[in-house]
Structure 1
Amino acid sequence: MILDDYMIATDVNSEVLCLGYPIYNSSLNDLPNKSKLLVNTINQYSYCISEEDATFKEALLNSDVILPDGVGIVFASKWLNDVKVKKIAGADFHEFQLKRLNSINGSCFYLGASNETLGKIETRLKKEYPNVKFGSYSPPYKPSFTEEDNVKMIQEVNNFSPDVLFVGMTAPKQEKWSYAHKGELEAKIICSIGAVFDFYAGTVERPNKIWQDLGLEWLGRLFKEPKRMWRRYIYYGGIFAKHMVKAKFNRL
Protein backbone atom coordinates (compact mmCIF):
# COMPACT_ATOMS: atom_id res chain seq x y z
CA MET A 1 0.00 0.00 0.00
CA ILE A 2 1.53 3.33 -0.99
CA LEU A 3 1.15 6.58 0.94
CA ASP A 4 -1.39 8.23 -1.37
CA ASP A 5 -3.66 5.18 -1.23
CA TYR A 6 -3.55 5.15 2.55
CA MET A 7 -4.77 8.69 3.06
CA ILE A 8 -8.48 9.39 2.92
CA ALA A 9 -9.94 12.82 2.26
CA THR A 10 -11.88 14.45 5.08
CA ASP A 11 -15.05 16.47 4.99
CA VAL A 12 -15.89 19.73 6.73
CA ASN A 13 -16.93 17.83 9.88
CA SER A 14 -13.31 16.81 10.49
CA GLU A 15 -12.56 20.22 12.00
CA VAL A 16 -14.03 22.34 14.77
CA LEU A 17 -13.28 26.04 15.12
CA CYS A 18 -11.92 26.71 18.60
CA LEU A 19 -10.50 30.06 19.71
CA GLY A 20 -10.00 30.96 16.07
CA TYR A 21 -8.18 27.76 15.07
CA PRO A 22 -9.57 24.89 12.96
CA ILE A 23 -8.87 21.94 15.25
CA TYR A 24 -8.70 18.45 13.75
CA ASN A 25 -11.52 16.26 15.02
CA SER A 26 -11.32 12.96 13.21
CA SER A 27 -9.32 9.76 13.07
CA LEU A 28 -5.70 9.82 12.02
CA ASN A 29 -6.76 7.35 9.35
CA ASP A 30 -8.72 10.19 7.75
CA LEU A 31 -6.02 12.78 7.16
CA PRO A 32 -6.56 15.13 4.21
CA ASN A 33 -5.51 13.82 0.82
CA LYS A 34 -2.86 16.29 -0.29
CA SER A 35 0.45 15.87 -2.09
CA LYS A 36 2.17 17.63 0.82
CA LEU A 37 0.66 17.84 4.29
CA LEU A 38 1.81 20.27 6.99
CA VAL A 39 0.78 19.04 10.44
CA ASN A 40 1.14 21.00 13.69
CA THR A 41 -0.21 20.67 17.19
CA ILE A 42 -1.76 23.21 19.53
CA ASN A 43 -2.10 23.29 23.29
CA GLN A 44 -2.79 26.00 25.85
CA TYR A 45 0.85 27.11 25.87
CA SER A 46 1.28 27.34 22.09
CA TYR A 47 -2.07 29.12 21.81
CA CYS A 48 -0.94 31.78 24.30
CA ILE A 49 2.42 32.19 22.59
CA SER A 50 0.70 32.56 19.21
CA GLU A 51 -1.29 35.47 20.61
CA GLU A 52 2.04 37.19 21.33
CA ASP A 53 3.84 36.10 18.14
CA ALA A 54 2.11 36.98 14.86
CA THR A 55 4.51 34.89 12.76
CA PHE A 56 3.84 31.84 14.88
CA LYS A 57 0.10 32.40 14.62
CA GLU A 58 0.38 32.67 10.84
CA ALA A 59 2.31 29.40 10.72
CA LEU A 60 -0.31 27.58 12.79
CA LEU A 61 -3.25 28.98 10.86
CA ASN A 62 -1.65 27.87 7.59
CA SER A 63 -1.24 24.28 8.75
CA ASP A 64 -3.16 21.66 6.81
CA VAL A 65 -3.91 19.90 10.09
CA ILE A 66 -3.84 21.26 13.65
CA LEU A 67 -3.99 18.48 16.23
CA PRO A 68 -5.50 19.12 19.71
CA ASP A 69 -2.43 18.32 21.80
CA GLY A 70 -3.63 19.14 25.29
CA VAL A 71 -6.55 18.91 27.69
CA GLY A 72 -6.83 22.71 27.64
CA ILE A 73 -7.86 22.68 23.99
CA VAL A 74 -10.17 19.71 24.57
CA PHE A 75 -11.87 21.57 27.44
CA ALA A 76 -12.07 24.83 25.47
CA SER A 77 -13.82 23.09 22.57
CA LYS A 78 -16.39 21.54 24.89
CA TRP A 79 -16.96 24.69 26.94
CA LEU A 80 -17.07 27.16 24.06
CA ASN A 81 -18.61 25.04 21.28
CA ASP A 82 -20.18 22.10 23.08
CA VAL A 83 -18.13 19.88 20.76
CA LYS A 84 -16.07 17.03 22.14
CA VAL A 85 -12.67 16.56 20.52
CA LYS A 86 -10.19 13.82 21.29
CA LYS A 87 -6.72 14.80 22.36
CA ILE A 88 -4.05 13.72 19.87
CA ALA A 89 -0.58 14.35 21.24
CA GLY A 90 2.47 14.74 19.04
CA ALA A 91 3.70 11.43 20.47
CA ASP A 92 0.47 9.74 19.35
CA PHE A 93 0.85 11.09 15.83
CA HIS A 94 4.49 9.98 15.77
CA GLU A 95 3.59 6.43 16.83
CA PHE A 96 0.76 6.28 14.30
CA GLN A 97 3.03 7.32 11.46
CA LEU A 98 5.78 4.86 12.41
CA LYS A 99 3.31 1.96 12.46
CA ARG A 100 1.94 3.05 9.08
CA LEU A 101 5.37 3.48 7.55
CA ASN A 102 6.46 0.10 8.86
CA SER A 103 3.50 -1.52 7.09
CA ILE A 104 4.36 0.08 3.74
CA ASN A 105 8.18 0.02 3.94
CA GLY A 106 8.15 3.79 4.12
CA SER A 107 10.72 6.32 5.22
CA CYS A 108 11.04 9.05 7.81
CA PHE A 109 13.54 11.79 8.54
CA TYR A 110 14.23 13.43 11.90
CA LEU A 111 15.34 17.06 11.72
CA GLY A 112 16.46 18.46 15.05
CA ALA A 113 18.02 17.45 18.39
CA SER A 114 21.60 16.37 19.00
CA ASN A 115 23.46 13.62 17.18
CA GLU A 116 23.40 11.62 20.42
CA THR A 117 19.61 11.85 20.65
CA LEU A 118 19.20 11.03 16.96
CA GLY A 119 21.42 7.99 17.42
CA LYS A 120 19.19 6.69 20.22
CA ILE A 121 16.13 7.28 18.05
CA GLU A 122 17.69 5.30 15.21
CA THR A 123 18.59 2.39 17.50
CA ARG A 124 15.07 2.14 18.89
CA LEU A 125 13.44 2.66 15.50
CA LYS A 126 15.39 -0.16 13.86
CA LYS A 127 14.37 -2.51 16.67
CA GLU A 128 10.66 -1.60 16.80
CA TYR A 129 10.00 -0.70 13.16
CA PRO A 130 12.56 -2.61 11.06
CA ASN A 131 10.85 -1.85 7.75
CA VAL A 132 11.14 1.93 8.14
CA LYS A 133 14.02 3.66 6.39
CA PHE A 134 15.61 6.22 8.74
CA GLY A 135 17.38 9.52 8.04
CA SER A 136 18.34 12.41 10.27
CA TYR A 137 20.21 15.67 10.60
CA SER A 138 21.17 17.69 13.67
CA PRO A 139 21.03 21.41 12.81
CA PRO A 140 23.12 24.00 14.66
CA TYR A 141 21.80 24.86 18.11
CA LYS A 142 21.18 28.59 17.93
CA PRO A 143 18.26 31.05 18.35
CA SER A 144 17.92 31.58 14.60
CA PHE A 145 19.34 29.97 11.48
CA THR A 146 21.39 31.64 8.77
CA GLU A 147 20.51 31.23 5.12
CA GLU A 148 23.40 28.77 4.84
CA ASP A 149 21.94 26.77 7.73
CA ASN A 150 18.55 26.64 6.04
CA VAL A 151 20.00 25.54 2.71
CA LYS A 152 21.94 22.73 4.41
CA MET A 153 18.89 21.54 6.35
CA ILE A 154 16.72 21.50 3.23
CA GLN A 155 19.41 19.66 1.26
CA GLU A 156 19.73 16.98 3.93
CA VAL A 157 15.97 16.38 3.92
CA ASN A 158 15.62 16.45 0.14
CA ASN A 159 18.56 14.10 -0.45
CA PHE A 160 16.61 11.54 1.58
CA SER A 161 13.15 12.57 0.30
CA PRO A 162 11.15 10.99 3.15
CA ASP A 163 7.51 10.02 3.30
CA VAL A 164 7.37 11.76 6.69
CA LEU A 165 9.56 14.55 8.02
CA PHE A 166 9.57 14.94 11.80
CA VAL A 167 10.77 18.37 12.94
CA GLY A 168 11.90 18.75 16.54
CA MET A 169 13.34 22.17 17.35
CA THR A 170 10.92 23.32 20.11
CA ALA A 171 7.93 25.63 19.62
CA PRO A 172 7.51 28.12 18.06
CA LYS A 173 10.79 27.77 16.17
CA GLN A 174 9.91 24.44 14.56
CA GLU A 175 6.46 25.50 13.36
CA LYS A 176 7.74 28.74 11.86
CA TRP A 177 10.61 26.97 10.12
CA SER A 178 8.40 24.24 8.67
CA TYR A 179 5.88 26.76 7.39
CA ALA A 180 8.53 29.03 5.88
CA HIS A 181 10.19 26.16 3.98
CA LYS A 182 7.25 23.87 3.23
CA GLY A 183 7.42 24.61 -0.49
CA GLU A 184 11.12 23.68 -0.67
CA LEU A 185 10.93 20.45 1.30
CA GLU A 186 10.54 17.14 -0.53
CA ALA A 187 8.45 15.27 2.03
CA LYS A 188 4.86 14.06 1.84
CA ILE A 189 4.06 14.83 5.46
CA ILE A 190 5.83 17.49 7.53
CA CYS A 191 5.07 17.56 11.22
CA SER A 192 6.50 19.49 14.17
CA ILE A 193 6.58 17.26 17.25
CA GLY A 194 9.11 18.92 19.56
CA ALA A 195 9.59 16.96 22.79
CA VAL A 196 8.69 13.68 21.08
CA PHE A 197 12.30 13.36 19.91
CA ASP A 198 13.43 13.18 23.55
CA PHE A 199 10.51 10.96 24.58
CA TYR A 200 11.26 8.41 21.88
CA ALA A 201 15.03 8.56 22.44
CA GLY A 202 14.47 8.03 26.16
CA THR A 203 16.42 11.15 27.14
CA VAL A 204 13.22 12.54 28.70
CA GLU A 205 10.62 10.20 30.17
CA ARG A 206 7.03 10.78 29.07
CA PRO A 207 4.46 10.46 31.89
CA ASN A 208 3.00 6.96 31.81
CA LYS A 209 -0.32 5.93 30.31
CA ILE A 210 -2.20 6.36 33.58
CA TRP A 211 -1.42 10.07 33.58
CA GLN A 212 -2.24 10.25 29.87
CA ASP A 213 -5.60 8.49 30.22
CA LEU A 214 -6.59 10.74 33.13
CA GLY A 215 -5.83 13.84 31.05
CA LEU A 216 -3.06 14.72 33.49
CA GLU A 217 0.02 14.23 31.35
CA TRP A 218 0.80 17.92 31.88
CA LEU A 219 0.83 17.36 35.65
CA GLY A 220 3.19 14.43 35.28
CA ARG A 221 5.59 16.57 33.26
CA LEU A 222 5.27 19.37 35.82
CA PHE A 223 6.23 16.99 38.65
CA LYS A 224 9.22 15.69 36.69
CA GLU A 225 10.53 19.09 35.57
CA PRO A 226 8.99 21.78 37.82
CA LYS A 227 11.61 24.47 37.15
CA ARG A 228 11.21 24.19 33.39
CA MET A 229 7.51 23.47 33.17
CA TRP A 230 5.87 25.67 35.81
CA ARG A 231 5.68 28.70 33.54
CA ARG A 232 4.23 26.67 30.67
CA TYR A 233 1.51 25.00 32.73
CA ILE A 234 0.85 27.33 35.67
CA TYR A 235 1.50 30.83 34.37
CA TYR A 236 0.23 30.23 30.84
CA GLY A 237 -2.57 28.08 32.23
CA GLY A 238 -3.93 31.21 33.86
CA ILE A 239 -3.46 33.25 30.68
CA PHE A 240 -5.26 30.58 28.66
CA ALA A 241 -8.17 30.60 31.12
CA LYS A 242 -8.50 34.35 30.61
CA HIS A 243 -8.63 33.88 26.84
CA MET A 244 -11.38 31.26 27.22
CA VAL A 245 -13.47 33.46 29.53
CA LYS A 246 -13.09 36.40 27.17
CA ALA A 247 -14.15 34.27 24.19
CA LYS A 248 -17.15 32.98 26.12
CA PHE A 249 -18.39 36.41 27.15
CA ASN A 250 -17.83 37.84 23.68
CA ARG A 251 -20.54 35.46 22.49
CA LEU A 252 -23.11 36.63 25.03
Structure 2
Amino acid sequence: MEIKFKDYIIHTQLPSSIEVGKKYIINTINPHSYCIAEEDDEFKSALTSSDILIPDGVGIVWATRFMYGAKIRKISGYDLHMHFLNLLDKEKGKVFYLGSTGSTLTKIQNRLQREFPNIDFYSFSPPFKPVLDKEDNQLIHKIINDIKPNILFVGMTAPKQEKWVHQNKSFLDVDVICSIGAVFDFYSGNIKRPGKFWIDLGLEWFPRLIQEPRRLWKRTFVSSPKFLMHLLISKFSASS
Protein backbone atom coordinates (compact mmCIF):
# COMPACT_ATOMS: atom_id res chain seq x y z
CA MET A 1 0.00 0.00 0.00
CA GLU A 2 1.19 3.52 -0.79
CA ILE A 3 -0.01 6.91 0.35
CA LYS A 4 0.98 10.33 -0.95
CA PHE A 5 2.11 12.66 1.81
CA LYS A 6 2.95 16.12 0.46
CA ASP A 7 5.76 15.50 -2.08
CA TYR A 8 6.47 11.97 -0.82
CA ILE A 9 5.10 8.54 -1.64
CA ILE A 10 5.11 6.63 1.64
CA HIS A 11 4.98 2.84 1.68
CA THR A 12 3.14 1.09 4.47
CA GLN A 13 4.50 -2.40 3.81
CA LEU A 14 7.92 -3.92 3.25
CA PRO A 15 8.63 -6.33 0.37
CA SER A 16 8.09 -9.99 1.24
CA SER A 17 11.10 -11.14 -0.77
CA ILE A 18 14.40 -9.97 -2.19
CA GLU A 19 14.18 -9.76 -5.97
CA VAL A 20 17.63 -10.55 -7.30
CA GLY A 21 18.76 -8.34 -10.17
CA LYS A 22 16.40 -5.47 -9.36
CA LYS A 23 17.85 -2.69 -7.23
CA TYR A 24 15.72 -1.18 -4.46
CA ILE A 25 16.66 1.97 -2.57
CA ILE A 26 14.86 2.09 0.78
CA ASN A 27 14.85 5.17 2.99
CA THR A 28 12.93 6.35 6.03
CA ILE A 29 11.15 9.61 6.77
CA ASN A 30 10.23 11.24 10.08
CA PRO A 31 9.30 14.81 11.06
CA HIS A 32 12.96 15.78 11.53
CA SER A 33 14.10 14.49 8.14
CA TYR A 34 11.05 16.09 6.54
CA CYS A 35 12.05 19.48 7.95
CA ILE A 36 15.67 19.07 6.86
CA ALA A 37 14.57 18.06 3.36
CA GLU A 38 12.43 21.19 3.04
CA GLU A 39 15.68 23.20 3.27
CA ASP A 40 18.01 20.76 1.47
CA ASP A 41 17.10 20.04 -2.15
CA GLU A 42 19.61 17.22 -2.56
CA PHE A 43 18.33 15.42 0.51
CA LYS A 44 14.73 15.89 -0.63
CA SER A 45 15.62 14.47 -4.03
CA ALA A 46 17.19 11.44 -2.33
CA LEU A 47 14.02 10.81 -0.34
CA THR A 48 11.52 11.42 -3.13
CA SER A 49 13.44 9.16 -5.52
CA SER A 50 13.42 6.23 -3.06
CA ASP A 51 11.89 3.03 -4.40
CA ILE A 52 10.44 2.48 -0.94
CA LEU A 53 10.07 5.24 1.67
CA ILE A 54 8.82 4.09 5.06
CA PRO A 55 7.25 6.10 7.92
CA ASP A 56 9.89 5.85 10.65
CA GLY A 57 8.26 8.26 13.05
CA VAL A 58 4.97 8.40 14.90
CA GLY A 59 4.73 12.03 13.77
CA ILE A 60 4.37 10.89 10.16
CA VAL A 61 1.72 8.36 11.20
CA TRP A 62 -0.29 11.04 13.01
CA ALA A 63 0.25 13.53 10.18
CA THR A 64 -1.17 11.23 7.50
CA ARG A 65 -4.27 10.71 9.61
CA PHE A 66 -4.62 14.44 10.29
CA MET A 67 -4.08 15.46 6.67
CA TYR A 68 -5.80 12.66 4.77
CA GLY A 69 -7.66 10.48 7.26
CA ALA A 70 -5.36 7.57 6.39
CA LYS A 71 -4.43 5.05 9.07
CA ILE A 72 -0.93 3.70 8.66
CA ARG A 73 1.53 2.15 11.09
CA LYS A 74 5.05 3.19 11.91
CA ILE A 75 7.82 1.07 10.38
CA SER A 76 11.07 1.87 12.13
CA GLY A 77 14.54 1.55 10.67
CA TYR A 78 15.05 -1.25 13.19
CA ASP A 79 11.96 -3.06 11.87
CA LEU A 80 13.33 -2.67 8.35
CA HIS A 81 16.70 -4.06 9.43
CA MET A 82 15.26 -7.14 11.16
CA HIS A 83 12.80 -7.79 8.32
CA PHE A 84 15.59 -8.11 5.77
CA LEU A 85 17.85 -10.11 8.07
CA ASN A 86 15.07 -12.67 8.48
CA LEU A 87 14.58 -12.85 4.70
CA LEU A 88 18.29 -13.08 4.08
CA ASP A 89 18.78 -15.84 6.65
CA LYS A 90 16.23 -18.00 4.85
CA GLU A 91 17.94 -17.40 1.53
CA LYS A 92 21.48 -17.84 2.91
CA GLY A 93 22.50 -14.51 1.43
CA LYS A 94 25.16 -11.84 1.97
CA VAL A 95 24.86 -8.61 3.92
CA PHE A 96 27.20 -5.62 3.94
CA TYR A 97 27.30 -2.93 6.64
CA LEU A 98 28.81 0.38 5.54
CA GLY A 99 29.47 2.95 8.23
CA SER A 100 30.27 3.42 11.92
CA THR A 101 33.49 2.25 13.61
CA GLY A 102 35.39 -0.99 13.42
CA SER A 103 34.47 -1.89 16.99
CA THR A 104 30.75 -1.33 16.35
CA LEU A 105 30.89 -3.42 13.19
CA THR A 106 32.57 -6.24 15.14
CA LYS A 107 29.75 -6.17 17.70
CA ILE A 108 27.21 -6.33 14.87
CA GLN A 109 29.06 -9.27 13.33
CA ASN A 110 29.15 -11.19 16.61
CA ARG A 111 25.43 -10.74 17.21
CA LEU A 112 24.54 -11.47 13.60
CA GLN A 113 26.45 -14.76 13.65
CA ARG A 114 24.56 -15.84 16.78
CA GLU A 115 21.09 -14.85 15.56
CA PHE A 116 21.36 -15.39 11.79
CA PRO A 117 24.01 -18.07 11.18
CA ASN A 118 23.06 -18.51 7.52
CA ILE A 119 24.02 -14.95 6.56
CA ASP A 120 27.50 -14.07 5.31
CA PHE A 121 28.62 -10.83 6.96
CA TYR A 122 30.81 -8.13 5.40
CA SER A 123 31.53 -4.57 6.45
CA PHE A 124 33.63 -1.47 5.97
CA SER A 125 34.19 1.58 8.16
CA PRO A 126 34.67 4.58 5.86
CA PRO A 127 36.68 7.67 6.82
CA PHE A 128 34.84 10.09 9.12
CA LYS A 129 34.42 13.09 6.85
CA PRO A 130 31.48 15.40 6.10
CA VAL A 131 31.74 14.29 2.46
CA LEU A 132 33.65 11.30 1.08
CA ASP A 133 35.95 12.16 -1.81
CA LYS A 134 36.30 10.44 -5.18
CA GLU A 135 39.09 8.11 -4.03
CA ASP A 136 37.11 7.07 -0.95
CA ASN A 137 34.06 6.29 -3.05
CA GLN A 138 36.00 4.33 -5.66
CA LEU A 139 37.48 2.16 -2.91
CA ILE A 140 34.05 1.59 -1.36
CA HIS A 141 32.55 0.70 -4.75
CA LYS A 142 35.30 -1.87 -5.36
CA ILE A 143 35.00 -3.48 -1.92
CA ILE A 144 31.22 -3.80 -2.19
CA ASN A 145 31.15 -4.92 -5.83
CA ASP A 146 33.78 -7.59 -5.24
CA ILE A 147 31.37 -9.13 -2.72
CA LYS A 148 28.06 -8.40 -4.50
CA PRO A 149 25.93 -8.46 -1.34
CA ASN A 150 22.17 -8.95 -1.46
CA ILE A 151 21.62 -6.22 1.13
CA LEU A 152 23.66 -3.09 1.83
CA PHE A 153 22.92 -1.31 5.10
CA VAL A 154 24.32 2.23 5.24
CA GLY A 155 24.79 3.92 8.60
CA MET A 156 26.39 7.34 8.24
CA THR A 157 23.60 9.41 9.90
CA ALA A 158 21.05 11.46 7.98
CA PRO A 159 21.17 13.28 5.63
CA LYS A 160 24.73 12.21 4.75
CA GLN A 161 23.81 8.55 4.24
CA GLU A 162 20.80 9.21 1.98
CA LYS A 163 22.78 11.66 -0.12
CA TRP A 164 25.66 9.21 -0.42
CA VAL A 165 23.36 6.42 -1.60
CA HIS A 166 21.62 8.77 -4.04
CA GLN A 167 24.97 9.80 -5.55
CA ASN A 168 26.55 6.32 -5.64
CA LYS A 169 23.71 3.85 -6.19
CA SER A 170 24.37 3.44 -9.90
CA PHE A 171 27.92 2.26 -9.16
CA LEU A 172 26.91 -0.46 -6.69
CA ASP A 173 26.16 -4.08 -7.56
CA VAL A 174 23.61 -4.67 -4.81
CA ASP A 175 19.96 -5.78 -4.74
CA VAL A 176 18.73 -3.68 -1.81
CA ILE A 177 20.27 -0.56 -0.23
CA CYS A 178 18.86 0.70 3.07
CA SER A 179 19.89 3.84 4.96
CA ILE A 180 19.31 2.98 8.61
CA GLY A 181 21.50 5.34 10.68
CA ALA A 182 21.10 4.71 14.41
CA VAL A 183 20.22 1.03 13.89
CA PHE A 184 23.94 0.24 13.79
CA ASP A 185 24.19 1.45 17.40
CA PHE A 186 20.98 -0.27 18.49
CA TYR A 187 21.85 -3.66 17.02
CA SER A 188 25.45 -3.54 18.24
CA GLY A 189 24.29 -2.72 21.76
CA ASN A 190 26.07 0.64 21.90
CA ILE A 191 22.72 2.29 22.61
CA LYS A 192 19.76 0.53 24.19
CA ARG A 193 16.59 0.84 22.15
CA PRO A 194 13.50 1.85 24.15
CA GLY A 195 11.30 -1.07 25.13
CA LYS A 196 7.97 -2.25 23.74
CA PHE A 197 6.04 -0.20 26.33
CA TRP A 198 7.32 3.10 24.91
CA ILE A 199 7.10 1.91 21.30
CA ASP A 200 3.45 0.83 21.67
CA LEU A 201 2.58 4.20 23.23
CA GLY A 202 4.14 6.04 20.29
CA LEU A 203 6.69 7.57 22.67
CA GLU A 204 9.88 5.82 21.60
CA TRP A 205 11.38 9.29 21.07
CA PHE A 206 11.13 10.17 24.78
CA PRO A 207 13.58 7.64 26.31
CA ARG A 208 15.89 8.27 23.37
CA LEU A 209 15.85 11.98 24.12
CA ILE A 210 16.75 11.23 27.75
CA GLN A 211 19.59 8.95 26.60
CA GLU A 212 21.00 11.30 23.97
CA PRO A 213 19.83 14.86 24.72
CA ARG A 214 22.73 16.59 22.96
CA ARG A 215 22.10 14.71 19.71
CA LEU A 216 18.30 14.64 19.73
CA TRP A 217 17.18 17.92 21.32
CA LYS A 218 16.95 19.71 18.00
CA ARG A 219 14.61 17.20 16.39
CA THR A 220 12.34 17.31 19.45
CA PHE A 221 12.26 21.01 20.26
CA VAL A 222 12.91 22.55 16.83
CA SER A 223 11.88 20.15 14.06
CA SER A 224 8.74 18.78 15.74
CA PRO A 225 7.11 22.22 16.29
CA LYS A 226 8.19 23.28 12.79
CA PHE A 227 6.64 20.11 11.33
CA LEU A 228 3.40 20.67 13.23
CA MET A 229 3.18 24.29 12.09
CA HIS A 230 3.77 23.22 8.48
CA LEU A 231 0.94 20.69 8.76
CA LEU A 232 -1.47 23.20 10.23
CA ILE A 233 -0.72 25.77 7.54
CA SER A 234 -1.11 23.16 4.78
CA LYS A 235 -4.34 21.77 6.24
CA PHE A 236 -6.12 25.06 6.75
CA SER A 237 -4.89 26.71 3.56
CA ALA A 238 -6.21 23.73 1.60
CA SER A 239 -9.61 23.97 3.27
CA SER A 240 -10.00 27.74 2.88
What is the TM-score when the length of structure 1 is the normalising length?
Answer: 0.92
Q: Distance in 2 between matches of 1:193 and 1:133?
A: 19
Moved more, 220-229 or 85-94: 220-229
Q: Distance in 1 between matches of 2:99 and 2:177?
A: 13
Indicate how the Cα distance of structure 1 residues 128 and 106 shifts in structure 2: closer, same or farther if over 3 A, else same. same
Q: How does 1:1-252 map to 2 (within 5 A)?
A: 14-29=1-16, 35-252=22-239
Cα deviations across residues 109-157 of structure 1 (Å, max 9, x unaligned)? 0000000100000000000000001000000001111100111111111
Q: Distance in 1 between matches of 2:196 and 2:21?
A: 32
Q: Per the alignment, in what secondary structure is the counterpart of residue 16 of structure 2?
A: helix
Is the CA contact (8 Å cut-off) linking 1:167 and 1:174 kept in structure 2? Answer: yes
Q: Percent of aligned positions with the same letter in both sequences?
A: 46
What is the TM-score when the length of structure 2 is the normalising length?
Answer: 0.96
Two-structure CA RMSD over aligned residues (Å): 1.4
- Count of residues in Structure 1 that have an aligned counterpart in Structure 2: 239
Cα deviations across residues 33-76 of structure 1 (Å, max 9, x unaligned)? 97000000000000000001000000101000000000010011
- Deviation of 1:245 after TM superposition, in Å, equals 0.8
Cα deviations across residues 177-209 of structure 1 (Å, max 9, x unaligned)? 101111111110001000000100011111111
Matched letter for residue 43 of structure 2? F
Q: Distance in 2 between matches of 1:221 and 1:249?
A: 32
Indicate how the Cα distance of structure 1 residues 168 and 202 shifts in structure 2: closer, same or farther if over 3 A, else same. same
* Unpaired stretches in structure 2, ≥5 consecutive residues: none
Is the CA contact (8 Å cut-off) linking 1:19 and 1:247 kept in structure 2? Answer: no
- Deviation of 1:243 after TM superposition, in Å, equals 1.1
Q: Per the alignment, in what secondary structure is the counterpart of residue 165 of structure 1?
A: strand
Q: Per the alignment, in what secondary structure is the counterpart of residue 22 of structure 1?
A: strand
Matched letter for residue 207 of structure 1? P
Q: Per the alignment, in what secondary structure is the counterpart of residue 29 of structure 1?
A: coil
Indicate how the Cα distance of structure 1 residues 49 and 32 shifts in structure 2: closer, same or farther if over 3 A, else same. farther
Q: Distance in 1 between matches of 2:13 and 2:133?
A: 38
Is the CA contact (8 Å cut-off) linking 2:20 and 2:150 kept in structure 1? Answer: no
Q: Distance in 2 between matches of 1:31 and 1:239?
A: 37
Q: Distance in 2 between matches of 1:156 and 1:39?
A: 21
- Deviation of 1:32 after TM superposition, in Å, equals 8.5
- Deviation of 1:250 after TM superposition, in Å, equals 2.5
* Unpaired stretches in structure 1, ≥5 consecutive residues: 1-13
Indicate how the Cα distance of structure 1 residues 250 and 29 shifts in structure 2: closer, same or farther if over 3 A, else same. farther
- Deviation of 1:227 after TM superposition, in Å, equals 2.2
Indicate how the Cα distance of structure 1 residues 102 and 30 shifts in structure 2: closer, same or farther if over 3 A, else same. closer
Indicate how the Cα distance of structure 1 residues 127 and 31 shifts in structure 2: closer, same or farther if over 3 A, else same. closer
Is the CA contact (8 Å cut-off) linking 2:18 and 2:87 kept in structure 1? Answer: no
Q: Distance in 1 between matches of 2:185 and 2:175?
A: 23
Q: Distance in 2 between matches of 1:37 and 1:27?
A: 11
Q: Distance in 2 between matches of 1:220 and 1:154?
A: 37
